[in-house]
Chains A and B, each alone.
Chain A
Amino acid sequence: MDTPGSAEQMQDDEPKDIAERPQWDNQVQYLLTCIGFTVGLGSVWRFPYLCQTYGGGAFLIPYAIGLVFAGLPLLHIELAIGQRLRMGSIGVWNSISPYMGGLGVASLAVSFLVSLFYNMIIAWILWYLFHSFQSPLPWRDCPINLNHTGYVSECEKASAVNYFWYRETLNITPNIETSGSFQWWLVLCLATAWCLVYICFIRGIETIGKVIYVTVSFPYLVLTIFLIKSLTLPGATDGLIYLFTPDWETLKNPDVWLDACTQIFFSMCLGFGGLIAFSSYSVQKNNCERDALIVGFMNTFTSIYASIPIFAILGFKANENLNKCRNWNILRLTNSFNIGDENITLGNYDDWFNYFNNTDPSEVESLNLKTCNLQTFLDESASGTGLAFIVFTEAVIHMLGSQVWAVLFFIMLFSLGLSSMFGNLEGILTPLLDLNIIPAWIPKEVLTGLICLTSFTVALVFTLGSGNYWLGIFNNYVGSMPLLIIAFFEIISVVYIYGINRFNDDIEWMTGRRPNIYWQATWRFISPLMLLVVFVAYVVVAAEKRPTYNAWNPDYVNFPLADVQPYPEWVYAICVLLSVLPIVSIPLVAFYRFMGFLKKYIMNRNNPNPYQSESFHGEL
């Protein structure tokens, strides 16, 4: 690949580039696409969970620090590099140094592996969306058993919502070794998901740019609607207080800092190559610094904005569960002591309880009344698929017009996931196009179709009975450690191999302003150091304990609690393979190029070229 020349030389190459390389219709499209890529499902279902687990408002401090010292600098680098060199991830890193070409291959591999399981989540969202058009919602009631005397026992022990997710949607096997069969309904949903993605992605950014206006603005609309609705629900304030009450003690726990940094990092989608691909289609004279700040700010704002309705709704659900618990106690007391029904209300419950406890304590003992504590219900938090498909669906049942809220919610999740998929797929498509290994006679539509078809076929493994367990593995091992390594090498390559001064010159040429002291300090020292620390901490924490997973086993003694199982040996080997495979290309490519360089050097030494004389320089 040609080495990057000075800015003027690149300018001469521009007219030819512009004729061949697609471009965004306008800068708004480009910004919206970047925002859509970074604002994904994690903003809605991971950030609120972390906020709640790590002391509410206090979590924002490590989060802000991670954003300022690791997230924004890396974001700026990726956007600037792509814009400057106008190539996808493989081309960019090859240009900076042939030894660093492996970085691009690693980004490509990670983007491919992540898009496999990410679209499976979108398939699940579509499944729930399709089922939201029924009255009553199918996850409200347990199905009736065969002899019509009661409900299916698995459903009675767990709840109807859990049963619908684990049995009717996933048909999950009791452990990861049992693979089960392909669930045809999930295959259909996966096919739908890939078809919908294909339509939008069919001609690369030309079609993505049109769709993005809808898929990025719609979630904000729905979030606002939910915000207004959720604040009117009873118990919403309990949830919000619970979310935002800062617990400063948690800041002493190193896990908080680690989780904050990783959340910032993964939610900004750094290291996928998608951002580099998007910015490579932008005009060169564009203020990438402002873009990086806008994208970073919107990502954080959306996360916080989404947590408000989520927690208001969780507070409402906790309130509903509390009332259900107390009403159960009331009914027990009423039936046991045979007083008129509706005599005991939520209000005078305590008086009645004390009365009965004084007159007949043994009877009250035998009733096994539950202790109904709002805190325990608020603590029933969940993240990820648990939040969307179990907790939220349960809350929606109690709201008036459940179908409307369910449909809105799942379409919002679908839009969020779809716009993130675009980034993942562009991280695959653009490097492939830049590598020039695709023969020119294959039209782009066929290439994108082939990518979608291949991904669909490989992702069929997630439609097995054990698919959810495999998805958890992919999520934990592919979408985490390799990204940290890739990002670390990215920043080292740009700052020390490409040269920070050259990079500063480029940015000055593109934006008209030299990056200020904040960028210099973070790029040179703070961000690489922080990445290294986070990576080491991550590995240490992960290596400490034998990795386990939560299995859904109806035969488990403590069912419906999760059956915590360790991974079997062969699965653990696959986990390690998934973490190592994407990043193994970095040393491999460097080694390969070094071998090539050595070969040339040795050849020149042994067969000196008589025409290549070093004593005569320059006049010819």
Chain B
Amino acid sequence: MEDVVFLLLCVSSAAAQLCAPDASNGYKVRLSILAALGDEAYLWNDSEMFLFRAALAFAMRTADGQNYDVSNVLVCDETPRVSFWFVVTSPLNPTQLVERRQVEEAVRKSRNRINSAFLLTDKTLEFLGIPPTLAAPAPPSPPPWLIVFGVVMGAAGAGIVLVLVTSVMQKRRKKKEEQTGIDEVEEESRAEENGTASDGVYNLSFSDNDRLTQM
């Protein structure tokens, strides 16, 4: 019995030594549940912590292939902020920590799954020191502004052509009117010359221009 107790104490103290704030192979995690979910926020308790450790074990399994278990993820220094430090031990050797870089790779690979498990985002579930993999920029199918530009330019071009064509047509029409106008005047004068007897022709030399001549 005492052996078991001694063993447990050893393991827990070993665990305590493995996981400590500022551990070389550990990461600090910070959750902002209230900020993210507001009224629908859940309380952070041991079950949620268990879920975290399970999610992280899942991430390690996906990246590594080895059979990581919940017991391989050690957590310490929990605060009311909801922030804590964690380290990952190797499933083959519980006293040996997994390299920092491997943990980082695993987390980055499964970041989305871990986030979704907690209904959080990259900003509200922070792994301090692991930069989030930002979404790749959208592929440049015709950029929207070129489409708007095309529409505006097309309308402008059509407008210019329209105005130019109407002004050319207007000029042609005016020239034609002038031509027919001249023809009409010629016809009228000819008609006057051959006027019927009843119409007569106004002869300007017999006008009452008393102002000009004094006879």
B79 within 8 A of A: yes
**By the criterion CB–CB under 8 Å, are A195 and B35 in contact?**
no
**By the criterion CB–CB under 8 Å, are B148 and A341 in contact?**
no
B97 within 8 A of A: no
- A203-B134 contact given A133-B145, A341-B34, A341-B81, CB 8 Å threshold: no
Q: Which of A126, A127, A151, A199 has the most B CB atoms < 10 Å from its CB?
A: A199
What's the Cα separation between A302 and B33 when bound, in Å?
A: 49
**By the criterion CB–CB under 8 Å, are A342 and B34 in contact?**
yes
B36 nearest CB neighbor, chain A only: A341
Task: Give B124 Cβ to nearest chain A Cβ, in Å.
Answer: 9
A445 within 8 A of B: yes
Q: B160 to chain A: which residues have CB within 8 Å?
A: 195, 198-199, 202
Q: B33 to chain A: which residues have CB within 8 Å?
A: 341
**By the criterion CB–CB under 8 Å, are A341 and B167 in contact?**
no
A185 nearest CB neighbor, chain B only: B145
What's the Cα separation between A120 and B156 when bound, in Å?
A: 18
- A192-B156 contact given A339-B80, A342-B35, CB 8 Å threshold: yes
**CB-CB contacts below 8 Å: B120-140 with A:** 131, 133-137
What's the Cα separation between A149 and B164 when bound, in Å?
A: 55
**CB-CB contacts below 8 Å: B141-187 with A:** 144-146, 148-149, 152-153, 156-157, 159-160, 163-164, 167, 171
Task: Give B11 Cβ to nearest chain A Cβ, in Å.
Answer: 27
**By the criterion CB–CB under 8 Å, are A443 and B167 in contact?**
yes
- A144-B81 contact given A133-B148, A199-B160, A443-B167, CB 8 Å threshold: no
Q: B145 to chain A: which residues have CB within 8 Å?
A: 127, 130-131, 133-134
B83 within 8 A of A: yes
Task: Give B145 Cβ to nearest chain A Cβ, in Å.
Answer: 4
What's the Cα separation between A207 and B131 when bound, in Å?
A: 59
A340 within 8 A of B: yes
B62 within 8 A of A: no
B32 within 8 A of A: yes
- A150-B131 contact given A203-B167, A338-B79, A339-B81, CB 8 Å threshold: yes
Q: A207 to chain B: which residues have CB within 8 Å?
A: 163
What's the Cα separation between A144 and B153 when bound, in Å?
A: 31
20 more contacts with CB within 8 A, not counting A148-B133, A443-B167, are: A130-B152, A131-B145, A133-B145, A149-B134, A150-B131, A150-B134, A192-B152, A192-B153, A195-B157, A196-B156, A199-B156, A199-B163, A202-B167, A334-B81, A335-B30, A338-B79, A340-B81, A341-B33, A341-B35, A445-B164
A134 nearest CB neighbor, chain B only: B144
B82 within 8 A of A: yes
A143 within 8 A of B: yes
Chain A 135-149 interface mask (CB, 8 Å, partner B; 1/0): 000000001100011
A149 nearest CB neighbor, chain B only: B131
A188 within 8 A of B: yes
Q: B82 to chain A: which residues have CB within 8 Å?
A: 340-341
- A189-B144 contact given A338-B80, A338-B83, A341-B34, CB 8 Å threshold: no
B137 nearest CB neighbor, chain A only: A144
**CB-CB contacts below 8 Å: B15-59 with A:** 30, 32-35
What's the Cα separation between A334 and B33 when bound, in Å?
A: 13
Q: B157 to chain A: which residues have CB within 8 Å?
A: 195
**By the criterion CB–CB under 8 Å, are A338 and B81 in contact?**
yes
What's the Cα separation between A585 and B148 when bound, in Å?
A: 44
A residues whose Cβ falls under 8 Å from a Cβ of B = 126-127, 129-131, 133-134, 143-144, 148-151, 188-189, 191-192, 195-196, 198-199, 202-203, 207, 334-335, 338-342, 443, 445
**By the criterion CB–CB under 8 Å, are A340 and B80 in contact?**
yes
Q: B167 to chain A: which residues have CB within 8 Å?
A: 202-203, 443, 445
User: Interface size for chain B: under 10, 10 to 19, 20 to 34, or 35 or more residues?
Assistant: 20 to 34
Chain B 54-95 interface mask (CB, 8 Å, partner A; 1/0): 000000000000000000000000011111000000000000
What's the Cα separation between A207 and B164 when bound, in Å?
A: 12
Q: B163 to chain A: which residues have CB within 8 Å?
A: 199, 202-203, 207, 445
**By the criterion CB–CB under 8 Å, are B148 and A148 in contact?**
no
Task: Give B208 Cβ to nearest chain A Cβ, in Å.
Answer: 27
What's the Cα separation between A188 and B148 when bound, in Å?
A: 12
Q: B80 to chain A: which residues have CB within 8 Å?
A: 338-340
- A199-B159 contact given A148-B134, A338-B80, A341-B32, CB 8 Å threshold: yes
Q: Can you give 12 contacting A-B residue pairs, CB < 8 Å?
A: A126-B152, A127-B145, A148-B134, A150-B131, A191-B153, A195-B160, A198-B160, A199-B156, A202-B164, A334-B81, A339-B80, A443-B167
Q: B32 to chain A: which residues have CB within 8 Å?
A: 341
**By the criterion CB–CB under 8 Å, are B81 and A148 in contact?**
no
Chain B 98-135 interface mask (CB, 8 Å, partner A; 1/0): 00000000000000000000000000000000010111
Task: Give A271 Cβ to nearest chain B Cβ, in Å.
Answer: 31
Task: Give B132 Cβ to nearest chain A Cβ, in Å.
Answer: 8
Q: A202 to chain B: which residues have CB within 8 Å?
A: 160, 163-164, 167
The one of B131, B134, B149, B156 in contact with A189, judged by C-beta atoms closer than 8 angstroms, is B149
Task: Give A153 Cβ to nearest chain B Cβ, in Å.
Answer: 14
What's the Cα separation between A570 and B148 when bound, in Å?
A: 40
What's the Cα separation between A188 and B30 when bound, in Å?
A: 48
Task: Give A448 Cβ to nearest chain B Cβ, in Å.
Answer: 11
Sort A-B residue pairs by CB-CB distance and give the 7 closest, nearest first.
A338-B79, A130-B145, A342-B34, A338-B81, A195-B156, A130-B148, A341-B32
Q: A339 to chain B: which residues have CB within 8 Å?
A: 80-81
What's the Cα separation between A191 and B82 when bound, in Å?
A: 57
Task: Give A521 Cβ to nearest chain B Cβ, in Å.
Answer: 48
Task: Give A338 Cβ to nearest chain B Cβ, in Å.
Answer: 4
A199 nearest CB neighbor, chain B only: B159
**By the criterion CB–CB under 8 Å, are B137 and A143 in contact?**
yes
Q: A134 to chain B: which residues have CB within 8 Å?
A: 144-145
What's the Cα separation between A538 and B192 when bound, in Å?
A: 75
What's the Cα separation between A131 and B145 when bound, in Å?
A: 5
**By the criterion CB–CB under 8 Å, are B133 and A188 in contact?**
no
Q: A150 to chain B: which residues have CB within 8 Å?
A: 131, 134
Task: Give A205 Cβ to nearest chain B Cβ, in Å.
Answer: 14
Q: A188 to chain B: which residues have CB within 8 Å?
A: 149, 153
Q: A143 to chain B: which residues have CB within 8 Å?
A: 137
Task: Give B167 Cβ to nearest chain A Cβ, in Å.
Answer: 6
Q: B79 to chain A: which residues have CB within 8 Å?
A: 338
Task: Give A351 Cβ to nearest chain B Cβ, in Å.
Answer: 18
What's the Cα separation between A196 and B149 when bound, in Å?
A: 12
What's the Cα separation between A149 and B30 when bound, in Å?
A: 19
A206 nearest CB neighbor, chain B only: B167
